Chain A
Amino acid sequence: DAGVIQSPRHEVTEMGQEVTLRCKPISGHDYLFWYRQTMMRGLELLIYFNNNVPIDDSGMPEDRFSAKMPNASFSTLKIQPSEPRDSAVYFCASKGGELFFGEGSRLTVL
């Protein structure tokens, strides 16, 4: 298996623009997690899904953030409109037995 696949790996955008981050979990994994990593706050859980259903989105910082999982092999995290303080590395992880992380999407909002 190729592991958890995230795209894009790097994104630079301007404040106010819409950002969409994508994740393909490992096939057969029934849990999917979105995390945000910053120097100040470390690794924060934003939202997680079980069998494509959002279970806990209490970590989503604001209404500007939304996440979807339309099927078992794809999830998106959208930020609209983006702000400079959203700059971070966003990790997707999936869980079958253990938690496996993707390579991350580094977002820079100017």
Chain B
Amino acid sequence: AQSVSQHNHHVILSEAASLELGCNYSYGGTVNLFWYVQYPGQHLQLLLKYFSGDPLVKGIKGFEAEFIKSKFSFNLRKPSVQWSDTAEYFCAVNEGYSGTYKYIFGTGTRLKVLA
């Protein structure tokens, strides 16, 4: 069965610091990968996605993620965080080409950015 691991449960950074959140998945086949963000009191929103092609994916608000197939990883990065990036971040995976569309989410990483 698929699973998604996010090893950083809580991250605290100062504004302008660089961010990297880890995400590893377990599935040997073709996958689609996603990062979602949940701002306090709001619903999840798509930050970026990877289906195929260039393994470096750019999303909204200056976020990017790199798919490294050999490491089963899809880490999220941002060079300089802002206070408004305080949120919970979820990595998700579903099987590519299977048509099941069963999205499996990691347990999330809570990011707090100090002004």
Chain A residues with CB under 8 Å of chain B are 4, 31, 33, 35, 41-45, 48, 50, 55-56, 91, 93, 95, 98-99, 101-104
Contacts and interface: CB of A to CB of B under 8 A. Distances in A.
A31 B108 contact: no
Interface residues of B, number: 18
A11 B89 CA distance: 25
Interface of B: 34, 36, 42-46, 49, 90, 100-108
B43 A42 contact: no
Contact of B105 (A42, A50, A95): A42
State the main secondary structure of chain A at its contact with B: strand
Given A42-B108, A43-B90, A43-B108, A91 B43 contact: yes
Determine which residue in A33, A45, A99 has the highest number of CB atoms from chain B within 10 A of its CB, and name it. Answer: A99
Contacts of A50: 101
A41 B107 contact: yes
